[in-house]
Structure 1
């Protein structure tokens, strides 16, 4: 992997982690297009660390408030929402790794497209995070667990899940982004053992650091943009984009075989 590939993957991770277009799906797709053969485990973890930095920068007030008073309702809601993804990660790890081979990538993108098309038709909710309850958080957490499948957007799924629970759109986006903190941290922790064994997986350290930095910058841009987009009900444009990508992937898998 060279610097330019690392930059492109960093841009994709930063934007797609928070825009509803699936970061994991885009990373799998781009790795296929570039023909990257090295193990991407360490690189993937560091890209996620970059997006985590972006969340810390945007939501530092929320994070500081949680650290000052860890025992509070918002903390409990985030824990409940994280449990489904933990269960999937612990008990279905082999299945998840198989999905990352890209076999179902096109279908994942199409699922995201359908979800996003429907999201703009969900009536505006009135709940804020203070009015959210454990059941609401669990349902959003299940949406996040489903989004482990590459091509299915984590941010899109959790935001739409929040909207179905009658949260107002800004609160839905805020909860989704805060949920990414334990999700990304948990994913990184679960991969520590494999990273120690594999090292950088044959990828030089400089591209890894560049990719992480780029991911952080574009993650920040994506969060700021998404907070505005969600309130204006413009998810359909993302739906069109992922639908086109999904059709392209399926066409390549079944007909052209350029990359898959």
Structure 2
């Protein structure tokens, strides 16, 4: 792998990890379209860990508040202690389905990563999910929920959608944001919880594949680190941009993009 290829794949992965367009799908499709070698597993793991560090940096205050609510609760108002403690519980509950799915069905879905047809179909499913979520939220009656209205059952439902997104081409961020919107949460609140929920999911997958990361570093460490640095920056920009975008916009551009790209990939795979 060249330095340029590492930087390109790092940019693609970092940007698409938090945009609702499927990073896993793009890491399959982009090398196929550009004739770039598919990245080794160690490189893929490193890119995702870089994305996790980026989102942890962005939400550093939230993470510190959750820790503070348990370690030093007397320095906070009781209502804030309850909120941050509950949020941590919700993140744990929401992470369970993906953890179980990864351990039980991980091998099956890994085989799908070699199928561009599957990637194309799941990209189209991502687009249809966003189309449905926009429609549901626009037709909802009454005030929309925020993070302070979340319940354990809400976290579990979002977690189930995250577990489904183990499929290549089905966007993790898109699925979980849509799940929140289906439950009546405003777009930005759904996105914030989705991004926080990505932290344990990405770190957990990285720990499982830590051995591959260590073994794959030999001889390509410098090239890998270039890709990781680009992924970190792209991930941070994607989180910031997506949260700003969702303040006043629907999913329309992402719906069009995923449906068209998915259809193109399906046609390409059948040609």
- TM-score between the two structures when normalised by the length of structure 2: 0.88
Deviates more, 1:33-42 or 1:55-64: 33-42
Query: Would you say 1:192 and 2:214 are equivalent positions?
Result: no
Residue 144 of structure 1 pairs with residue 162 of structure 2? yes
Q: Which residue of 2 aligns with 1:16?
A: 16
**CA distance change for structure 1 residues 123 and 8 in 2, over 3 Å: closer, same or farther?**
same
Per-residue CA distance 1:98-152 (angstroms, 9 max, x = gap):
1221341110111011112222222265222222111111110011111111111
Please give the secondary structure, in 1, of the residue aligned with 2:166: coil
Gaps in structure 2 of 5+ consecutive residues:
71-83
Q: CA deviation at 1:247?
A: 1.3
* Alignment correspondent of 1:245: 261
Alpha-carbon offset, residue 9 of structure 1: 0.7
Cα offset, 1:67, TM superposition: 2.1
* Aligned match of 2:144: 126
> Is the alpha carbon distance of 1:117 and 1:39 closer, same or farther for their aligned partners in structure 2, counting shifts above 3 Å?
closer
Residues 31 and 38 of structure 2 are in contact (CA less than 8 Å); yes or no, is this contact kept in structure 1?
no
2:73 counterpart residue number: none
Alignment coverage as a number of residue pairs:
253
Counterparts of residues 159-178 of structure 1 (less than 5 Å): 159-178=177-196
Pairing of 1:81-100 with structure 2 (within 5 A) = 81-100=94-113
Contact 1:108 1:246 (C-alpha < 8 Å) held by counterparts: yes
Structure 1-normalised TM-score?
A: 0.91
1:38, 1:203 within 8 Å by CA — same for their partners in 2? no
Q: Which has the larger radius of gyration?
A: 2
Q: Tell whether the 8 Å contact from 1:126 to 1:167 is kept in structure 2 after alignment.
A: yes
Contact 2:28 2:38 in 1 (8 A): no
Counterpart for residue 74 of structure 2: none
- Residue in structure 1 matching 2:91, options 78, 98, 120: 78
The match for 1:258 is: none
